Amino acid sequence: MEMTIKFRVSILLSLVAGVSVVTGLYVFSALSAAKDDAAITEALGRQRMLSQTIAKSVLNYASAKQNYKGLKTYITSLNRYITNMREQYTTSIVPAARKRGVTFSMTPETEQHPSMPFPATFTRLVNSRSNVKEDASIIILSDFPVNPESALQTPLDREANEFLKKNKSKIFVKPEEIDNAMDLTFYAADIAMVQECVDCHIAMEGRSYKVGDMLGIRRYRVPFAPTMASGQRLLNPSLMEYETAKTIFVETLSSMRSGGKYPTDLMRKNFRNISAIDDQQAQDLMSNVAAVFVIVEETVGKIISGIAAQDQVLKLSKQANKLSTASQALVMRYGEIADDNQSHIRWTISISVIVILATMEAVYLFMSRVVIGRISVLSALMETLADGDRTTKIKYAEDSDEIGDMARAVRVFKDNMVRIERLRGARDHIFFVSISACSIHCLLNIHCHFYL
């Protein structure tokens, strides 16, 4: 039993729909596989930037710490030098000068006769006439100054003086705002190191001193930063940038390796969920990145704890470059994966279009040959019958589909036409016989009447 046209058309339309669904799902699958490509490529590119940020933030932290530490060490060394210098000056130069009758003055440059500076004055002159450090100043101040200009000048001077009375061996330091910039002001105790110094101050001040007593304070003022804000950052360096970059780096790398959430912004307010990268070469590269990152972390820990900081800084710079290179290799590999995904999408779409077009072409051929072509044949047969040709054979009358029904209807039409023509011929024959009989009867009647 043949299938009806309706059934076959339904099958073809279902086939078209099925092909469309299947190709659509295939394209969707390809697009789904590539939907995270842009986000992953961006995240992996950010990893390379974060590797540099990690190193830069730690190096800035170490530099700030080292800068302050170096400056404090410099001031400590300078203070020690001044102590030794004054001791030598007091024990060697001053006695020899006094033996020769040389006088001492707070302002030797203004005296009419040759004179030498007092030890404290000598320190001031060394500061003013030598470039110990650009824009730096050194001055000795006291509660009971011999020179009125050397009295404690600021609240900070008095705070430092009180601190050093109790902690003579320590350095007191605080920042000061000078002309909108930050200066670091260091204070050290000015201690009587030798008896000559004690004798001089007793003679000048009339106060009782002994070796080891604090005679005053030495103030070292050094420019530190162009603004107070930048100075505070240098004095109190933070590892927050490092901690943030490290957290984002680790979370992103973990999500790429095993799947999961990673932060999409540097503030870690937004997260994105992704699947693990399904590529062995990329997984190997990520393992290498993780291994290098562990080494970087170890070096950072040593820098923060101050273990051979200078050597570790050089190591960190090299390791950061290695981490950046490893991250770049991962970016390039995923770029290849993304390109392959895009190529797969293009091929998928092309094949889907071809399959759909081929299916539609099959539907067109079926409709044109099985339906339209057969209907055209029946239409031509109808025209032939209309022209009076009753000998034409009706095609498709044996088919069981809708076209067969139409053919059988045409055949019935043809048979009816033939039957009608036959009936019409019989009627004409009867009519002719009737007319002939009537004519003969009339002729006979006429003939008989004539003879009578």
Distance CA 428, CA 445 (A): 26
Tokens 């053919």 belong to 407
Span 67-235: which CATH code?
3.30.450
Tokens 């995923």 belong to 334
Q: Which CATH number fits domain 13-60+238-341: 1.20.120, 1.10.357, 1.10.287, 1.10.150?
A: 1.20.120
**Could you report the per-residue pLDDT of 6-44, keeping only the tens digit for each?**
777 777 778 778 877 877 777 777 666 667 788 888 899
What count of other Cβ atoms lies within 10 Å of the Cβ of residue 239? 14
Q: What is the dihedral of CA 50, 56, 57, 59, to 10 degrees?
A: 150
Q: What per-residue confidence (pLDDT) applies to 436?
A: 65
Q: What per-residue confidence (pLDDT) applies to 16?
A: 77
Taking a C-beta distance cutoff of 8 angstroms, is the pair 191, 214 a contact?
A: yes
Distance CA 108, CA 26 (A): 98
DSSP string, 74-136: HHHHHHHHHHHHHHHIIIIIHHHHHHTT-EEESSGGG-SS-EEE-HHHHHHHHHHHS-SSTT-
The structure's pTM equals: 0.64
Q: What per-residue confidence (pLDDT) applies to 371?
A: 78
Q: What per-residue confidence (pLDDT) applies to 92?
A: 81
Q: What per-residue confidence (pLDDT) applies to 126?
A: 64
Q: What per-residue confidence (pLDDT) applies to 310?
A: 72
Taking a C-beta distance cutoff of 8 angstroms, is the pair 177, 147 a contact?
A: no
Q: What per-residue confidence (pLDDT) applies to 448?
A: 54
DSSP string, 283-317: HHHHHHHHHHHHHHHHHHHHHHHTTTHHHHHHHHH
Sign of CA pseudo-dihedral 79, 85, 88, 92: negative
Q: What per-residue confidence (pLDDT) applies to 437?
A: 66
Q: Which residues pair with residue 84 across a beta bridge?
A: none
**Could you report the per-residue pLDDT of 356-398, keeping only the tens digit for each?**
788 778 878 877 877 788 788 888 888 887 777 777 788 877 7
What count of other Cβ atoms lies within 10 Å of the Cβ of residue 374? 20
Q: How far is CA 325 from CA 43, 143, 298, 330, 407, in A?
A: 16, 62, 19, 9, 80
Q: Is residue 443 helix, strand or coil?
A: helix
**Could you report the per-residue pLDDT of 328-355, keeping only the tens digit for each?**
999 999 989 888 878 877 887 788 788 8
Q: How far is CA 304 from the centre of its chain?
A: 27
Distance CA 24, CA 8 (A): 24
Distance CA 161, CA 10 (A): 104
Taking a C-beta distance cutoff of 8 angstroms, is the pair 241, 53 a contact?
A: yes
What count of other Cβ atoms lies within 10 Å of the Cβ of residue 438? 10
Sign of CA pseudo-dihedral 84, 87, 90, 96: negative
Secondary structure string (H, E, C) spanning 316-365: HHHHHHHHHHHHHHHHHHHHHHHHHHHHHHHHHHHHHHHHHHHHHHHHHH
Q: How far is CA 270 from CA 249, 252, 379, in A?
A: 15, 13, 71
Distance CA 56, CA 49 (A): 10
Q: What per-residue confidence (pLDDT) applies to 337?
A: 86
Q: List the structure tokens of 306.
A: 């101050």
Q: How far is CA 206 from CA 146, 184, 200, in A?
A: 10, 34, 10
Distance CA 174, CA 157 (A): 10
Segments making up each domain of the chain, as ranges? 13-60+238-341, 67-235
Residue 115 main-chain phi, psi, to 5 deg = -145, 165
Secondary structure string (H, E, C) spanning 16-78: HHHHHHHHHHHHHHHHHHHCCHHHHHHHHHHHHHHHHHHHHHHHHHHHHHHHHHHHHHHHHHH
Beta-carbon contacts of residue 66 (< 8 Å; ≥ 6 apart): 309, 310
DSSP string, 395-417: TTTT--SHHHHHHHHHHHHHHHH
Residues of the chain with pLDDT under 70: 1-3, 30-34, 106, 120, 123-135, 307-309, 428-429, 431-433, 436-452
